[in-house]
Structure formats: structure tokens, C-alpha cells
A and B are shown apart, each in its own frame.
Chain A
Amino acid sequence: MSRILLSARSRDRGELLTTRMVTYDSGGNQPEKLPYSFVLRYLVSTDHKTIGLQYLWLALLSVFVGMAMSLVMRIHLAWPWMHITFLSTLDSSPERYATLPVLHGSLMVFLVLTAAPQLGFGNYFLPLQIGAREMAFPTLNLFSFWATVLSLFGITSAFLIAPQAGITLWIVSVSVFCGATLSSALNFAVTTIDLRAKGMTLPRLPLTVWAWFLNAILGMLIFSVLLAACLCLLSDRWFSTHFFSAVDFLASQPANVAPDVLPALWQRLFWFFAQAEVYVAMLPCFGIVSHLIATFSRKPVWRERLVVLALCAVGLVGFCVWGQHMFSSGLNPFSPLVFSVLAASLGLPATILLASWFATLWTARFQLNTSLLFALGFVSLFLSGGISGLFLARHDFASTSVTEDFVTGHFHLVMGVAATFAILAALFFWFPKLFGRRLNEPLGKLHFWVTFAGVYGVFMPMHWVGLVAHLAKHPGANLSTIAAWIGPTRSFITAGIVITVCAQGVFLFNFLWSLFRGDRVEEYNPWRATTLEWSVASPPPWDDFGAGEPVVYRGAYEFGVPGVAQDFIPQHVAPDRVVRAN
């Protein structure tokens, strides 16, 4: 009985909405009445588009704070005597310096690399691309967002208070972030499984949706482990338990307990999360880049099924390589070999993805706009960073041949900067849909080239420093020559950071200026793309597709189909409505 009532009510609402749709069509893109007042809309809206945009704003704020931290660190390394106004008023203990990389890393990894491509763009575009009106559990989505805000607040405050209390606050904030990510991963997975429009079968899903979906599953599995590890840590701090036994605890034990039997429990739990977290940051970027390259090349994705399988393989193998970081911590002697093979076997899906990107670009007459430039920048950085990753996958190399700088250079190139390039490519691509305006192209290209040169100028020399600094550990090494080489290289890296950070000012100006003064985009589909989000107004009306429901008739990458007038067929156009070439 209740179901029949429900259906009748939804039909009534449908008719109301239909009337409103007519109003849109006659009178521009603005809905006549929004469901909430302006303030309420941003505080308690459960609309997936509002929440997605809020995540993007959060990521923008965090990326600039995180970047400032990296600048301070490099300045301190190159010119330690320099006085920095605000920071020098805090104490100058080694702990204070150690909080800098912690804040930089946690902001960048959690609030930028995890939040922007998945939670920001994903929340906004996943329901639109699969033809759903909303996420599966909108209220849960609102909860995830505010929990993320809370954890950002906690992580940042942890930097400002006394180090010991700061660590506790940091762990609590990370636990809150785990809860937020777990609930939004649940939302993403269920939305993709159950809320797809009619005709949106799995092979027809855009690669972006595949990537968000697989990423949600991976996140679901690993953030629970981090939450468990955080719980044990908090128990150690609050209840004086000894899950992660410190050396001083063992020292207080009988003499037959040697410190070398530390069971490395924290390392296991942490790396189980952290190694897979790299792929949590990268998976949506793979999806976005494949999507953009196909759209701008006006060609179908090369071997689309294989690419989907490669994305699955990245998720699966990424989940199994946690031992990769523990070659020197007393694992079973055979396990480094297993983890090495697994880590190196990630090269296979990576190669498939690269082959697909190059094959899609091959002989394509692409439009080299800023969005595609950033996508190509991603490919370049992923390739360069990935090659040094192959060296690090050798279990004997990381511990014997390089220092930390090599590893830092590797993961910044492949995870941090490459992912940021994919986020920027997505932003330039979807900006017209998000705000109904375009980002400025010449400023965007200037920003791209300076950033591209800048990040190579920073992270390539960091690899070299890692290689050369290790020479100093050999007996009879000429220390003065090594120091004479490393000193200027460090200064060069710092200068590179300063230039790169300044280039982000160009981006910030472009972003804010285009938000209010950018060229207006009147048409629904300025890039002539195929997916469903381009079939509604820019920005989309609050009820997305209105009273009706989109129906999907074909795969997401039907470009250059022979015998068709245009070089693309959108997913929602029925076969009998496709305009044939004469």
C-alpha cells in the first residue's frame, strides 16, 4: 500500500517538475526557485553538485596551505638562517620542523589528492554521468563532507598547538577523515551499482565512472585498516596500552627480550593503507585522463575493455603490495621477493594504460587546449615517475643504492604532481559545466608551461641528489666534492619551488577571474563530448535531468562513427534520431 502511495506521489511531483522544465526552456538556465535559501544551501544541502563543489573549494584551500608548507621546508633546507615572520614566533624545536612535513603530507594526500579527483569531481559528475538524480544516500554524503571539514580543521590546528597534544589531535582528525571517506566510498559504490539510468550497462560506463567506482571499493577496504590502526594508536596514547611497543617499553622488560624483535606492527598496518592510498589518488586520475584524451582526440578509447581491466588490476595489485616498504624490517626472507614481483607487475597495467593513451592520440587531429595539455603533462610525469618506480620495486635497490631524496622525488613526480595535473586537466575540462564560463586559455597555457618546467626542475634534481648523496656512505668517498655538488643543487631545487609556487598565482587569478568574468558558455556541450552531463544546461539545473529520466543507447566513446553527420554521438541520442551524413 505504501509503495503505491509513494509512486502516486512521485508521479505528482513529476508533473510539477515537468511544468518547471518548461519554464527553464523558455527562460534561460536559472531555476525559478531553489529549494533552500543561499546560506542553508551551502550548509545543509544534500545535493551532490553542491557537495562536490564544496569538496573542490576545500581542496583548493588545502593545496595552497600545503604548498606554503613545502615552500617553508625548502627555504629552511637551503637557507636555514632565514627568518620567517609567523613561523618564527612558534618555537623552533626539531619537533616543530617535523610537524611541517606532516602537515604538508596529510593536507596534500588526504584533502587534495584523495578529496579533489574522487570526492570533488566524483560527487559532482558521477550521478550526472550515469543518469542518476542523486547519490544513493544524500544525507550520508552531507555527513561525509562535514566530517571532512572537521578533519581539515583538526589536522591544521594540530600544527599550531604543542607537539604532543598535536599528535593526538592529528590522529583523531585522521580517524574522522577515515570515517568520512568510508561513508562516501559506500555512497559511490552503491550509486554506481544501483542508480544507473536505463540502458547504462557496465560496458557503456564512461571510464571516469569505472575509475571512481573501483576507487571507492579500494578506499572501502583500506581506510578501514587505517581506522583500526588509528584506534590502536589512540588506545596506546590514552589507555597506555602497548600495541606498538616502544623500545623503552621493551627495555623495561626482562633481559631475554631484545629490542630487535620489535614486531613492526605499525609498519604493516600503515603501509597496508599507505601503499594502496597511492592508487586511491591515481585511479580517478587514470579515468579522467583516458576520458579527456579520447574526447579531445575525437577518437574512441583504444582497447576500452582492456583499459577497464587494467584499472581493475591497478586496484587489485595495489591492494597487495604493502610489503614493498618493509624490506628492511624483518619480514620473512622470501616475502621481499613476492612483494617485489607484485610491485613490478604493476608495470603491466600501467603499460596498458600508457599504450591506450598513445594509441588514442596516434594520428588523431586533437585540439591542443589547456585541458589536453595538462592531461598530456600527466602522461609525461606518470611515465617519468613510473620509471624510477621500477628501480625502487627491486628489493635490494631502495635500501642499498639511494637515499630518501630519490624516493621523495619519485613519489612526488608520480603521485603528487601527476595527480595534480590530472585534477587541473579535469578542472579546465569541466569548468564550463560547473560554472557556465570558460577558464582563460592563454593564462592557462602560461600556467601549464611554467608549472611543467618547474616540477621537472624540482623533482628530477631530487632524484640525482638521492643517488649522489648515497655515495657519501661508501668508504673513501670524496665528501667535499659531493657536498660541493649537493649544496648548489639544493638551492636550485628551492629556486624551482619558488617559481612553481608563483606560477600557481597565475592559476588562482585565472580561476577567480574566470568565475566572474570568464567567457560565458551558452551551449550545453561546448567540447562536443558524448557523456550525459553535457546533455543538460551549464551549470546543470538543481534537479539535474528534471522530471524525465535519461536513457542510454550506446557506449561512452562513439567518436568518428562512419556514416554519421557529426564526429560524435552522445550516449542519450536514440538510434533513430542520429543524423546521417548525406
Chain B
Amino acid sequence: MPSATATPDVELIIEDSRGGGGGGRPPDGGDDGDDGDYSKGPRREPPSSRRFSTGIAIGMVSILMFFMALASAFLLLHHSSRVWVAVHLPAILWANTVVLIGSSFVLERARLRLSNGDVPGFRKMWLVTTFLGLLFVAGQLVAWRQLVAEGVYIASNQASSFFYIFTGAHGVHLLGGVVALLFVLLRNFERSQISMSLAAEITSYYWHFMDGLWIFLFALLYLGK
């Protein structure tokens, strides 16, 4: 990696998009000695945009850990509690699941359009994804109302507590995903540190993760009957 003074800008940008942080061999020469004057050395590049992907990956591990703690509590109480009364799961949860999986497919279609350079088409599909996400949240609220109408409240017994905590915590995390979807839709990327396609890619990771997490939680609740 030659020093920046001798390099056209385009080459630096390519370096940057591959992730400039760490790892590479140091350039020859262009050193600054022991006096701490770095102005003679290579120019500082903007921080690697790879940090956004790394950040979301680590963040997802942390969120997974949070839900695993709740899931282990669920399994422990399910097996050892003698006051466990299983919750009758409302049928609308199946519809919600289909909506959420569908939103993941639409999101991937949207990203495909973006990579083909069709930005208006991308925005349209992206808006559909956002709408499906909100539809899922609305469907979860309907499920809550149905349970309340049956007289099953959060404090009724341990199984119903877990139902409300799982769906509530997942819903809050999913709304975070909706905010990210809206951010990609409304943000002016001309003045941003992050490109539109990267923002869409990172949002898609999170959205699919929320999707998979819901399937896991739903399976847990279903098998926990």
C-alpha cells in the first residue's frame, strides 16, 4: 500500500471499501521518526465503513444472548414449575409469521433492484417491506387482544408471562428494524458516511435476524405447550 501522496484518490477509495483497518503490510518509507509528527506520513483515510457490518454482527450476538437468557428461563420453568398452564396460541400468529417471512422476501427483491440501479423500484419494494413489518406488529397486537378477551393476562401464570414478554421484547426489537427501514428510505445519502446500498445491506441483516428470531420464539412457544 503506497503512501497517499503518490496515489490517485480512486485507488484509496477502493482500498477503503475493502476495509482499510489493520492487517496490511506497512508501506515502505514515508515514516515519521520518533517525534510524533505524523503529517509527513500517509494521509488519514476516513474510518473503514466495514465497521457498520461488524457492529451489526456483534450487536446481533448480544441480542441473541438476551433472548437466549429468556429462552433458557422459559425451558427451566417449563420443566420444573408445577403451576405451568400452557397458553392457547391464537391462530393469527400463523398469519403474522407468513407476513414476516414475506417481508424478508420483498426486502431481498428490493435489494436486487437497487443492485440493478433501479432506485425508484427499490424504494417501492422497500416501502412494501416497511408496511409488512408494521402489519406484523399490528397482528401481534391483535393476538394480545384476543388473549386478553379470553382472560389470559400477563400475570395469569408463568406460561402467559413468557408469551407476553417474548412477543413484547421481539416487537420492540422489530420496531427498531422498522426505524432502520425508514432511515434507509428517508435519509439523504449524498451527505452521509454510509452508502445507500451498504445501509440497505445492514438493515437486511437485522431484518432477517428478527425474522429468524421470531420463528425460533414461535417454535419455542408452540412446542412449549
User: Using a CB–CB distance below 8 Å, which chain A residues touch chain B?
Assistant: 2-8, 10-11, 14, 17-18, 21-22, 25, 130, 132-134, 136-137, 182, 185-186, 189-191, 193-202, 220-225, 227-229, 231-232, 235, 239-243, 245, 250, 253, 256-257, 261, 263, 265, 268-269, 272, 524-525, 535-537, 545-553, 570, 572-574, 576-577
In the complex, A416→B199 CA distance in Å?
43
17 A–B contact pairs at CB < 8 A?
A2-B195, A3-B195, A190-B55, A194-B48, A195-B51, A201-B22, A223-B62, A224-B69, A232-B165, A241-B154, A241-B165, A242-B161, A263-B81, A547-B43, A549-B41, A572-B32, A573-B34
Q: Which of B62, B66, B70 has the most chain A CB atoms closer than 10 A to its own CB?
A: B62
Type the 1/0 row for B48-79, where 1 means its CB is closer than 8 Å to any CB of A.
10110011001101110111011011001100
A263 touches B44 (CB 8 A): no
Specify which chain A residues have a CB less than 8 angstroms from the CB of B116 in the assembled complex. none
Partner of A553, one of B12, B16, B17, B26: B26
Specify which chain A residues have a CB less than 8 angstroms from the CB of B44 in the assembled complex. 10, 14, 133, 545, 547-549
Known: A136-B47, A268-B76, A549-B41. A241 touches B155 (CB 8 A): yes
Extra contacts besides A3-B16, A198-B42 (14): CB < 8 Å: A3-B13, A10-B46, A186-B58, A194-B48, A198-B1, A220-B61, A224-B69, A228-B69, A242-B155, A256-B82, A261-B82, A536-B36, A546-B38, A551-B31
Specify which chain B residues have a CB less than 8 angstroms from the CB of A25 in the assembled complex. 37
Specify which chain A residues have a CB less than 8 angstroms from the CB of B118 in the assembled complex. none
In the complex, A185→B58 CA distance in Å?
9
In the complex, A227→B68 CA distance in Å?
12
Partner of A197, one of B22, B33, B83, B189: B22
A228 touches B66 (CB 8 A): yes
User: Using a CB–CB distance below 8 Å, which chain B residues touch chain A?
Assistant: 1, 9-10, 12-13, 16-17, 19-27, 29-48, 50-51, 54-55, 58-59, 61-63, 65-67, 69-70, 72-73, 76-77, 80-83, 154-155, 157-158, 161, 165, 169, 189-190, 192-193, 195
B59 touches A186 (CB 8 A): yes
Q: Which of B1, B29, B43, B157 has the most chain A CB atoms closer than 10 A to its own CB?
A: B43
Specify which chain B residues have a CB less than 8 angstroms from the CB of A18 in the assembled complex. 39
CB-based nearest A residue for B83? A253
CB-based nearest A residue for B57? A190
A235 touches B66 (CB 8 A): no
Partner of B39, one of A220, A268, A548, A551: A548
Q: Which of B13, B32, B195 has the most chain A CB atoms closer than 10 A to its own CB?
A: B32
Partner of A132, one of B9, B47, B158, B189: B47
Known: A225-B69, A573-B31. A235 touches B154 (CB 8 A): yes
A224 touches B63 (CB 8 A): yes
CB-based nearest B residue for A200? B22
Specify which chain B residues have a CB less than 8 angstroms from the CB of A545 in the assembled complex. 38, 44
Least distance between A66 CB and chain B CB atoms (Å): 28
Specify which chain B residues have a CB less than 8 angstroms from the CB of A130 in the assembled complex. 22
B62 touches A186 (CB 8 A): yes
Specify which chain B residues have a CB less than 8 angstroms from the CB of A5 in the assembled complex. 190
CB-based nearest A residue for B160? A241
CB-based nearest A residue for B53? A194
Partner of A4, one of B10, B32, B34: B10
Least distance between A526 CB and chain B CB atoms (Å): 13
In the complex, A263→B84 CA distance in Å?
13
A263 touches B195 (CB 8 A): no
Specify which chain B residues have a CB less than 8 angstroms from the CB of A245 in the assembled complex. 81, 83, 158
Least distance between B59 CB and chain A CB atoms (Å): 6
Specify which chain B residues have a CB less than 8 angstroms from the CB of A525 in the assembled complex. 34
In the complex, A186→B169 CA distance in Å?
20
Known: A133-B47, A190-B51. A551 touches B82 (CB 8 A): no
In the complex, A221→B40 CA distance in Å?
42
A242 touches B158 (CB 8 A): yes
A263 touches B80 (CB 8 A): yes
B66 touches A194 (CB 8 A): no
In the complex, A186→B65 CA distance in Å?
14
Partner of A7, one of B9, B27, B40, B59: B9
Q: List the 6 shortest-distance A-B pairs measured between CB atoms, nearest first.
A: A548-B38, A196-B22, A574-B31, A199-B26, A228-B69, A224-B65
In the complex, A575→B72 CA distance in Å?
54
Specify which chain B residues have a CB less than 8 angstroms from the CB of A524 in the assembled complex. 35-36
B43 touches A549 (CB 8 A): yes
B69 touches A229 (CB 8 A): yes
A6 touches B55 (CB 8 A): no
